[in-house]
Amino acid sequence: MKLAKRLLGVDDIRKARANRPTASAQQVMDRIYGARKRLEEIVGPLEPDISPYAHRPGESPQEAHDRGVGYAGPNMEDKGQKDGSCNRTACQLPLAGKPQWMMLESLSGGQKLYYCGECARKFYEADRDFGRPFRCTLVVA
């Protein structure tokens, strides 16, 4: 079982990425899930949360955030909406009652997308590092 855990941990993700540097994140995950299925055929069912980054069934974005990992579950229905869930896929924290930041999505005809403060700070740091103007605007309730 130790071998199984080692095979499906972070090292496995790094290895899959190193072997196929042009693979998308989804392709890397598909390969790892394929390896996991083949392994389960040999050793039996593995713990569902063998990787700390895997989505735990029923886990909310807030719960993923609280244990220090990005949210990896299905998208929230109100993703990116004002007072809905943060638009960053790996975040999706609830926004209602909190300061929220709006970004105009140029690729979708100027749709307004909403983000939490933590994600807005990430955008701010990236924009600053690239010498670009800050993309987000604080929404005053």
Task: CB nearer to Zn ion: give 32 or 100.
Answer: 100
Element of type H or E holding 73 = none
Using CB under 5 A, pick the residue from 31, 65, 79, 88 that binds Zn ion.
Answer: 88
Task: CB nearer to Zn ion: give 119 or 136.
Answer: 119
Alpha-carbon distances of 4 from 9, 28, 37, 102, rounded to whole Å = 9, 18, 11, 43
Element of type H or E holding 40 = helix 25-43
Encoded one letter per residue, x for contact with Zn ion by CB under 5 A and - for no contact, window 20-59 reads ----------------------------------------
Query: How many positions of this chain bind Zn ion (CB under 5 A)?
Result: 5
Backbone angles phi, psi at 4, to 5 degrees: -60, -45
Task: CB nearer to Zn ion: give 9 or 70.
Answer: 70
Task: CB nearer to Zn ion: give 28 or 91.
Answer: 91
Using CB under 5 A, pick the residue from 8, 28, 64, 86 that binds Zn ion.
Answer: 86
20: Cβ contacts below 8 Å, ≥ 6 apart: 27, 28, 31
